[in-house]
Amino acid sequence: MPEFLKLIPPQIAISLMEDALGDVKRSKESILTEESYGFIVAEDIIAPQSLPSFFRSTVDGYAVRSIDTFGSSSSMPAFLEIIGEVEMGNSALNELEPGQVVVIHTGGMLPETADAVVMVEDSQRLSEKELEIYKAVSHGENVLNPGEDVKAGEVIIKSGTMIRSVEIGGLMALGIVSVPVVINPKIAIISSGDEIVSPEKDVKNGLVRDVNSYMLSALISQWGGTPVKYGIIPDNLETLLSISMKAFNDCDMVVFTAGSSVSIRDITADAIRSLGDPGVIVHGVNIRPGKPTILAVCKGKPVIGLPGNPVSAFVTANIFVQNTINQLLGMQIPIIEDRIIAKLETNISSKAGREDWVPIKLKRSHDGLIAEPIFARSNFIFSLVAADGLICIAPDKTGLNAGEEVIIKTFQ
Amino acid sequence: MPEFLKLIPPQIAISLMEDALGDVKRSKESILTEESYGFIVAEDIIAPQSLPSFFRSTVDGYAVRSIDTFGSSSSMPAFLEIIGEVEMGNSALNELEPGQVVVIHTGGMLPETADAVVMVEDSQRLSEKELEIYKAVSHGENVLNPGEDVKAGEVIIKSGTMIRSVEIGGLMALGIVSVPVVINPKIAIISSGDEIVSPEKDVKNGLVRDVNSYMLSALISQWGGTPVKYGIIPDNLETLLSISMKAFNDCDMVVFTAGSSVSIRDITADAIRSLGDPGVIVHGVNIRPGKPTILAVCKGKPVIGLPGNPVSAFVTANIFVQNTINQLLGMQIPIIEDRIIAKLETNISSKAGREDWVPIKLKRSHDGLIAEPIFARSNFIFSLVAADGLICIAPDKTGLNAGEEVIIKTFQ
């Protein structure tokens, strides 16, 4: 394995993979807006109308011609005539002549001849038709104008945006009840190794249950892919080649999680090479855990070989698989990443030149959040179960000091 | 509305609601572990066995009796006899006599008589059976011990934990293929107001489309509830009472999102009062946006009345509805909340005594993340679409200064 001799820094590995994958052709479909949470918008969405679509009152009170309130105060009230009431959900029936007002509720539509609303608190109703106003209002006061929220023809949601609850709300406000989204890419998961068995099996001596397929499947769903599991393949090149080819043809991306023996790692690399050009882009990344990661692009599809240890597979999936799925989706990465800041509880040492990822347990203190590193071997899935997130120690550091502020990457 | 005169601070409102709701009876069911992402574990999960379940090698090399390597070095190698190979997924067939070793792969099971593994890099194979070892290994070196990851009988996942990918992995590692979870509570959503119409409808003068039902539905799903929409009810107490009662009987919680007029707000409060004792706990919260929020508990079920403006409904749902769903689920809130830190771009003023929530757009700068406040009226859904998160200005502050570090609460 000469490739292992030149370990590539993770950031370079990501760039090489992104460049090799290049522009991705995406399939799109139209789905119901109310079922679109978490999908990626496939094209710019344009506002078909302005919002609000009419002059709306922001308060309970009286729609007026502002000029009629000029100079009014508690010592010198304006006397106006109430000629009706605006019903919610209807246009105002009355036109205002000078000196006239109508009762209006929050959200109600102003008569065309009104240009402001006097709050009920600033007035006193003397009789059914007589109103005293104690405060002048200026043109547009207590009124929302058409187009103040969004204007017809504006791009309201950019292509590549992930739909949250508020995008669903915005689309509904405009009557956009279906939305074009990127079809979730199908991501094949192939587990391999003679020692790996299905989780429902008893583990006799020497056997371990498949953890990675299920953990990856959950992650891939959260990241916007559709996971497709191809089972556990024994340490046999021929079988692995045929399953790999099938998975490759059926799906948009293939993720291998190989067993831990040298032999299965070797035949996984062979299987990846068999899938087409350009093939392996990176074999061996300068990261711990996760050194034996393989990144490849075969005939325009991404193929990733993850290490077999659960923690290694988890960390490298969070870096390389998630990034590649984002590229397949054409997703605009929000500036907000799931990360928080805490103070490190103890020193952590790290080898210079290598990126180290360490699981972290958070604790509250009067001094803010404290990050306690969980030092465990990458074989141990329960070191992740105990963790609230991960921290990354950059390759140019030889460690982190107790008390230092660290950024914690949360995970799904 | 005398209740409005005594506005309650949000944190007190939350506590009053939590106390009034008290202990919640939860229904649980067993579901497949591989489909359990995002569910809340309903009881402590105990490890049925230890992991690893056998002595495993962490390297490729030779399983040895460590005593046989004592004193060996490159100048003084130990000569040992290779008597076989441990197949992956099988017990070692051979017992080691003094001076004997077996070939072993990463993850392989040690023979009972071996207690350490020599790395292949520290040895040279002279022939099929002859091996030179250049480095002594100590007892247990390069070996994982049974129970090092988790011990049989240990609580591996506490009741109330939300299942992430790593919990799925941990359960699978132990062969736990189904898991007891809290059944997602059914949350009724009732929209009301004469001006509100369904999103597919044209909005003529005075009408607005229902935004809140759909935005809330997406949020409630993300928070672990099952949303049930009861449609849009006109400004009519009788109809609202009958739909409210049906929703209340069918579901575990009811959320009203009332139109903006006084009248519909009043009849919503009446409808909530009709649902049973103790009834309204809080009517009016000292928060902007969101002042007219109603918190109630009726016959042991939570009932929440949200304001009609979309931004107000969104902010108060994120505070009160999410917290109440967490209580229904018995969820242990992870210390990690979705929040990040950024520097404020401009001053924000705020009224002392009131909690203010402001949407924030994030920007990157060479100086870290910058938070740009989005000043918009709470009517404007697209102020949220433009936002990456929200900041909260505490009641004891009269504002925040440009350059100040703020915590941003992200949202779904």
The angle at the Cα of B160, spanning B156 to B164, to the nearest 5 degrees, equals 65
Is the per-residue pLDDT at B303 higher than 60? yes
Q: In the listed set B299, B329, B359, which residue is the last one of a domain according to the structure? A: B329
Average pLDDT of the residues in A307-334: 90
For A:36-75, CB contacts with B below 8 A are 37, 49, 51-54, 56, 58, 60
For the stretch A228-260, pLDDT in tens is 999 999 989 999 999 999 999 999 999 999 877
Is the per-residue pLDDT at B257 higher than 60? yes
Cβ atoms of A63 and A54 within 8 Å: the answer is no
Query: What pLDDT score was predicted for residue A149?
Result: 87
Query: What pLDDT score was predicted for residue B1?
Result: 42
List, in order, residues 6 or more apart from B97 with CB less than 8 Å away.
Answer: none
Smallest Cα distance from A195 to chain B, Å = 4
Query: What pLDDT score was predicted for residue A1?
Result: 42
How far is residue A190's CA from residue A183's CA, in Å, rounded to a whole number?
Answer: 22
For the stretch B66-97, pLDDT in tens is 999 999 999 999 999 999 999 999 987 778 99
How far is residue B370's CA from residue B361's CA, in Å, rounded to a whole number?
Answer: 8
Is the per-residue pLDDT at A379 higher than 80? no
Q: Is A266 exposed, middle or buried (0-12, 13-18, 19+ CB in 10 A)?
A: middle
Q: What is the dihedral of CA B11, B15, B18, B21, to 10 degrees?
A: -120
Question: Would you tell me the crossing angle of helices A262-273 and A237-250 to the nearest 10 degrees?
Answer: 40
Average pLDDT of the residues in A192-200: 93
Q: Which of A260, A267, A301, A261 is nearest to A281 (CA)?
A: A301
pLDDT confidence tier of residue B323, bands split at 50, 70 and 90? very high
How far is residue B324's CA from residue B334's CA, in Å, rounded to a whole number?
Answer: 16
**What residues form DSSP beta bridges with B297?**
B279, B302
- Give the chain B residue whose CA is nearest to the CA of A361: B335
How far is residue B48's CA from residue A205's CA, in Å, rounded to a whole number?
Answer: 16
Shared-domain flag, residues A119 and A223: no
Residue A358 covered by a domain? yes
For B:292-311, CB contacts with A below 8 A are 308, 310
**Are the Cβ atoms of B89 and A206 closer than 8 angstroms?**
yes
- Which residue range is the domain that position A174 belongs to? 33-51+150-182
Query: What pLDDT score was predicted for residue A338?
Result: 56
Residues B286, B291, B297, B298: is their CA dihedral positive or negative?
A: positive
Is B32 touching A (CB cutoff 8 A)? no
Shared-domain flag, residues A188 and A297: yes
For the stretch B103-139, pLDDT in tens is 999 999 999 999 999 999 999 999 999 999 999 999 9
Shared-domain flag, residues B120 and B231: no
In one-letter notation, the amino acid at residue A370 is: I
Is the per-residue pLDDT at B227 higher than 50? yes
Q: Of all residues in chain B, what percent carry a pLDDT higher than 90?
A: 69
Residue A390 covered by a domain? yes
Residue A334 covered by a domain? no
Query: What CATH number is attached to the domain comprising B170?
Result: 3.90.105.10
For A:200-259, CB contacts with B below 8 A are 200-212, 214-219, 221-222, 235, 259
Average pLDDT of the residues in A130-155: 94
The overall longest dimension of chain A from CA atoms, in Å, is 96
For the stretch A44-94, pLDDT in tens is 999 999 999 999 999 999 999 999 999 999 999 999 999 999 999 998 777
Cβ atoms of A374 and A361 within 8 Å: the answer is yes
Is the per-residue pLDDT at B338 higher than 80? no
Query: What CATH number is attached to the domain comprising B87?
Result: 2.170.190.11
Residues A217, B52, B160, A368: is their CA dihedral positive or negative?
A: negative
Residues in A touching B204 (Cβ below 8 Å): 91
Query: What pLDDT score was predicted for residue A95?
Result: 87
Is the per-residue pLDDT at A3 higher than 50? no
Q: Which residue in the set B34, B335, B384 is minimally distant from A214, CB to CB? A: B34
Residues in B touching A195 (Cβ below 8 Å): 88-89, 107-108
Is the per-residue pLDDT at B3 higher than 70? no
Residue B334 covered by a domain? no
One DSSP character per residue, B315-332 reads: HHIIIIIHHHHHHHHT--
Cβ atoms of B120 and B62 within 8 Å: the answer is yes
Mutate to test the interface with A, among B213, B265, B385 (most CBs of A within 10 A): B385
Shared-domain flag, residues B254 and B155: no
Q: Which residue in the set A108, A310, A379 is minimally distant from B144, CB to CB? A: A379
Average pLDDT of the residues in A177-201: 96
Q: In the listed set A329, A350, A376, which residue is the last one of a domain according to the structure? A: A329
Query: What CATH number is attached to the domain comprising A290?
Result: 3.40.980.10
Q: Which of A314, A324, A204, A312 is nearest to A253 (CA)?
A: A324
Query: What pLDDT score was predicted for residue A320?
Result: 95
Shared-domain flag, residues B113 and B190: no
Give the end-to-end CA distance of chain B in Å, rounded to a whole number: 33
Q: Which of B281, B283, B278, B280 is nearest to B299 (CA)?
A: B278
Query: What CATH number is attached to the domain comprising A361?
Result: 2.40.340.10
Residue B395 covered by a domain? yes
Residues in A touching B107 (Cβ below 8 Å): 193, 195, 208, 259-261, 308
A388 or B320, which is more confident: B320
One DSSP character per residue, A325-359 reads: HHHHHT----S--SEEEEEESS-EE--TTSEEEEE
What the block records as the tokens of B336 is 């990690």
Query: What pLDDT score was predicted for residue A50?
Result: 92
Count of alpha carbons within 13 angstroms of residue B162, beta-carbon side: 19
Shared-domain flag, residues B295 and B387: no
Shared-domain flag, residues A258 and A310: yes
For chain A, give the mean pLDDT.
91
Is B16 touching A (CB cutoff 8 A)? no
What the block records as the tokens of B203 is 């909005």
Is the per-residue pLDDT at B339 higher than 70? no
Query: What pLDDT score was predicted for residue A337?
Result: 60
The angle at the Cα of B59, spanning B55 to B63, to the nearest 5 degrees, equals 55
Shared-domain flag, residues A158 and A212: no
pLDDT confidence tier of residue B336, bands split at 50, 70 and 90? low
Shared-domain flag, residues A39 and A97: no
Q: Which of A98, A203, A357 is nearest to B172 (CA)?
A: A203
Mutate to test the interface with A, among B166, B265, B357, B406 (most CBs of A within 10 A): B166
What the block records as the tokens of B61 is 């090399």
Query: What pLDDT score was predicted for residue B335?
Result: 62
Whole-angstrom CA distances from B38 to A213, A348, A363, B161 are 18, 32, 22, 9
Is B102 touching A (CB cutoff 8 A)? no
Q: Which of A17, A22, A19 is nearest to A320 (CA)?
A: A17
For the stretch A255-311, pLDDT in tens is 999 877 777 888 999 999 999 999 999 999 888 888 899 999 999 999 999 998 888
* CB-based burial, A55-65: b 16+ in 10 Å, e otherwise: bbbbbbbbbbb
For chain B, give the mean pLDDT.
91
Q: So what's the ipTM on this one?
A: 0.89
Shared-domain flag, residues B292 and B191: yes
**Which residue has 């000569």 as its token pair?**
B79
Is A388 touching B (CB cutoff 8 A)? yes
Residue A88 covered by a domain? yes
Is the per-residue pLDDT at B381 higher than 90? no
Highest mean pLDDT among A259-263, B201-205, B333-337: B201-205
B351 or A14, which is more confident: A14
Number of domains in chain B: 4
Is B33 touching A (CB cutoff 8 A)? yes
Residue B402 covered by a domain? yes
**Are the Cβ atoms of A173 and B334 closer than 8 angstroms?**
no
Smallest Cα distance from A364 to chain B, Å = 7
Shared-domain flag, residues B232 and B376: no
In one-letter notation, the amino acid at residue A323 is: N
- Give the chain B residue whose CA is nearest to the CA of A387: B166
Q: In the listed set B297, B329, B361, which residue is the last one of a domain according to the structure? A: B329
Q: What is the pTM of this model?
A: 0.89
Q: Which residue in the set A60, A214, A262 is minimally distant from B60, CB to CB? A: A262
Shared-domain flag, residues A229 and A300: yes
Residues in B touching A411 (Cβ below 8 Å): 164-166
Instruction: Average the pLDDT over each of A128-132, A299-303, B353-357 and give the range with the smallest value.
Output: B353-357
